[in-house]
């Protein structure tokens, strides 16, 4: 990845894309960054407007992608707070869109939700001949139902109906809708009244050339306990507190003093979760990393024994694709999750699913895997095979690029890059990568997870020799 602050010369009309995202900075947003790279590899000029992360510059170019960042609005509290946040973010985005238009130009806007407010910006720019593509990341009406239940009071009903109206307007203005899974596509067709040819499914699959098992760094590899890992946002709807309950059940109720958990990510609930962990007496069993980069993620997902999916069954979670599940799979990591419709679509037979909210069943499944190295190895192997062969971003990118080629009426047979959709150039072999083609080395890794502690190594010897 190369970074510079100089914005390149404008590209020719018909090839210029502006991507708008509000809930995460880029390139931290993995899906959006992969989309940017796919477009760039096929000859599109790509600009992004997003909020600043800590220490981020206001302008930068990374791998030829121009990124324009604004100061994020204050943290929202209550309906009024969210309205202020959305309004400030919209105004700052609209102002930056004028700058992007002047400096780099754009022929199409891709807006990623939440929130469902950028249809108005798309409508305004339509007068200049700009097309509008909606990348549907979240179901905001379902998010409301998941947090607050069915609206009963006048104010709650108004808020819910407003969310439905904003979503409906987004569908109406969009020239094309990109859905993250078939559940979202069904809603676009039903609530958006769209034709089937107006909606394309593009899953948030990982790039498994990059996300793959490694030999963990020395400080992680020497850990002496079994390791559970969580990766993702820590908001009210993510139920990360359930991980603490599972660890408490294993350690304090069942006496499993050989278990630790690492929770990677950030969000509105992070500080409350830290306090809860200490109050539950789990301070020495649970480690919070906060926001981390790819190297730390690769180390912990390679070293962990089990990935956990604590998202409970809600109107939003049941229909949403959990990126964490596919990221666990990319690292050949077996996982245990609450039973959700789209989590089963992602994980297939390579994960264990338990009834939503059942902490005892979740702990039972974790213990089953901890005590069975062969089951862990088989699930991990199946997970990596499934995500690489069916869910990988390489497959999703083709459908994604076709949307832009269609909307901008480009020749879909005119491949602008040396390979589809990416070239392997710039991806040098790394000595810490596990050789997945070496059956013996891969099997050893699947059991020991690259860590040098006694129990898994003994398990590997027993497993491999049939003792």
114-165 confidence digits (pLDDT tens): 999 999 999 999 999 999 999 999 999 999 999 899 999 999 999 999 999 9
Tokens of 325: 């599940």
The secondary structure of 337-388 as a DSSP string is EE--HHHHHHHGGGSEEE-TT-HHHHHHHHHHHHT-HHHHHHHHHHHHHHII
pLDDT at 11 over 90: no
- The first and second tokens of residue 327, run together, are 């990221």
Q: What pLDDT is recorded for position 422?
A: 56
What pTM, to 2 d.p., does this model score? 0.88
**Cis before residue 428, ω within 30 degrees of 0?**
no
The mean pLDDT of the chain is 90
Residue 425 above 50 pLDDT?
no
DSSP 197: G
**pLDDT band at 53; cut points 50, 70, 90:** confident
Residue written as tokens 């899974």? Answer: 181
Residue pLDDT, tens place only, 70-123 = 998 877 666 677 778 888 999 999 999 999 999 999 999 999 999 999 999 999
What structural domains and CATH numbers belong to the chain?
3-205+392-407 (3.40.50.2000), 218-387 (3.40.50.2000)
For 187, the enclosing helix (H) or strand (E) is helix 182-190
115 phi-psi bin (left φ>0, alpha ψ -120 to 50, beta other): beta
In sequence order, what DSSP letters do the residues of 237-268 get, joined into one string?
GG-THHHHHHHHIIIIIS--TTEEEEEE---T
Starting at the edge strand found earlier in the chain, the sheet holding 199-201 runs 3-4, 59-62, 65-70, 45-51, 16-21, 108-112, 131-136, 176-179, 199-201
Closest alpha carbon to 36 in 232, 95, 326, 25: 25
* Upstream peptide bond of 232 is cis (omega within 30 degrees of 0): no
């Amino acid at each position: 990845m190369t970074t510079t602050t100089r914005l390149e010369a404008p590209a020719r009309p018909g090839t210029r894309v502006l991507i708008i995202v509000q809930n995460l900075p880029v390139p931290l947003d993995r899906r959006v960054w992969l989309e940017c790279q796919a477009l760039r590899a096929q000859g599109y000029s790509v600009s992004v407007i997003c909020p600043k992360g800590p220490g981020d510059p206001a302008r930068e170019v990374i791998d030829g992608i121009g990124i324009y960042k604004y100061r994020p609005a204050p943290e929202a509290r209550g309906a009024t707070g969210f309205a202020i946040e959305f309004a400030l973010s919209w105004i700052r985005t609209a102002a930056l869109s004028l700058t992007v238009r002047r400096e780099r130009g754009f022929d199409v806007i891709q807006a990623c939700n939440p929130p469902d407010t950028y249809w108005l910006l798309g409508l305004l720019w339509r007068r200049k001949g700009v097309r509008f593509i909606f990348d549907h990341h979240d179901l905001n009406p379902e998010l409301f139902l998941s947090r607050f239940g069915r609206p009963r009071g006048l104010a709650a009903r108004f808020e819910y109906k407003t969310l439905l109206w904003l979503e409906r307007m987004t569908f109406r203005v969009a020239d094309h809708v990109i859905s993250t899974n078939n559940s979202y596509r069904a809603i676009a067709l039903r609530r958006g009244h769209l034709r089937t040819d107006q909606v394309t499914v593009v899953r948030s699959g990982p790039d498994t050339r990059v996300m793959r098992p490694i030999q963990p760094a020395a400080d992680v590899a020497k850990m002496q306990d079994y390791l559970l890992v969580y990766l993702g946002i820590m908001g009210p709807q993510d139920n990360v507190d359930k991980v603490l309950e599972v660890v408490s059940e294993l350690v304090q109720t069942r006496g499993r003093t050989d278990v630790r958990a690492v929770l990677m990510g950030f969000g509105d609930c992070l500080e409350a979760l830290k306090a809860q962990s200490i109050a539950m007496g789990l301070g020495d069993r649970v480690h919070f990393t906060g926001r981390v980069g790819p190297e730390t993620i690769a180390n912990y997902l390679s070293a962990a024994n089990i990935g956990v999916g604590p998202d409970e069954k809600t109107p939003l979670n049941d229909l949403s694709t959990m990126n964490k599940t596919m990221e666990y799979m990319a690292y050949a990591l077996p996982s245990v999750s609450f039973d959700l419709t789209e989590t089963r679509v992602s994980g297939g037979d390579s994960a264990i699913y338990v009834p939503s909210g059942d902490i005892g069943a979740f702990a039972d499944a974790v213990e089953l895997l901890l005590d069975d190295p062969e089951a862990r190895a088989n699930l991990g192997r199946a997970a990596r095979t499934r995500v690489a062969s069916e869910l990988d971003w390489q497959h999703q990118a083709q459908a994604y690029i076709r949307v832009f080629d269609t909307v901008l009426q480009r020749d879909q047979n005119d491949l602008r890059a040396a390979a589809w959709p990416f070239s392997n150039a710039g991806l040098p072999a790394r000595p810490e990568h596990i050789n997945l083609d070496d059956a013996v080395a891969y099997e050893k890794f699947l059991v020991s997870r690259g860590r040098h502690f006694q129990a898994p190594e003994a398990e590997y010897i027993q497993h491999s020799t049939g003792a």
